[in-house]
Amino acid sequence: MIDWPDLILRADRRRSFRDFHAMGLNYACLEWTGHRIVKLYELPDTKGRPLVAPHSHRYEFLQTVLAGRLVNQVFESEPYGPLDHHHHVACTYHTPISGGTGRFQADHFTRLEHVEDHFVSAGGCYTLRTDEIHTLSTDGPTWVVTVQAQDTKTESETFTYFRKGEVPEPDERLYKPMAPADLWEMSRRLKKALKL
């Protein structure tokens, strides 16, 4: 059996962050090679609300829930649809940890439609392709392991979607590097969640 709490203590601190994309969303980078990236995420209780705005990814990945439960909400977009109250702005985004500004840059208008939900409990997993748009919600603290395959990287631009007029400004509270004490606390919380 994998000792996930122990792996957190040995995480790559240069690539592990507190409040990553959203307050309370933390991750420990367990492996980063030319072939794959393995991250352990701690997701806060969103009380069923979306954790972050719907978005796409550059890599395909597999997510396994270690503790808690999440809902993977999947969307489809229709670029340049009729102007109505469902219109969204598709924004490009480059995180500060990758040298970006943390600012969302409007790219085009689109209509975003919520098409399905996947409910995933402890022990369950799901995959996400690079052409899928999604977000997550939780109904309690949730722990997830993500494995990204580096050879699935797409050169296509990824987007984050907001309703018109609701594109946020950069949040200076996000993307804080993990100190050893932060990883220790994260490991302790996971032990409690796993009842170890």
Instruction: Give the pLDDT mean for 47-61.
Output: 93
Instruction: Give the pLDDT mean for 55-78.
Output: 93
Percent of the chain with pLDDT over 90: 67
- Domain 4-194: give its CATH superfamily: Jelly Rolls (2.60.120.10)
pLDDT tens for 4-21 read: 999 999 999 999 999 999
- Domain residue spans of the chain: 4-194
Residue 64 — left, alpha, or beta (φ > 0 → left; ψ -120 to 50 → alpha)? beta
- In this model, does residue 66 exceed pLDDT 70? yes
Asked whether 60 and 148 are in contact (CB, 8 A), the reply is yes
Please give the C-alpha separations between residue 46 and each of 52, 126, 140, in angstroms, as whole numbers. 10, 20, 7
Percent of the chain with pLDDT over 70: 95
State residue 86's pLDDT score.
57
State residue 24's pLDDT score.
96
Tokens of 54: 């719907």
State residue 150's pLDDT score.
73
State residue 32's pLDDT score.
92
Asked whether 101 and 170 are in contact (CB, 8 A), the reply is yes
More confident residue, 121 or 109: 121
State residue 93's pLDDT score.
87
Instruction: Give the pLDDT mean for 64-92.
Output: 83
- In this model, does residue 84 exceed pLDDT 90? no
State residue 25's pLDDT score.
97
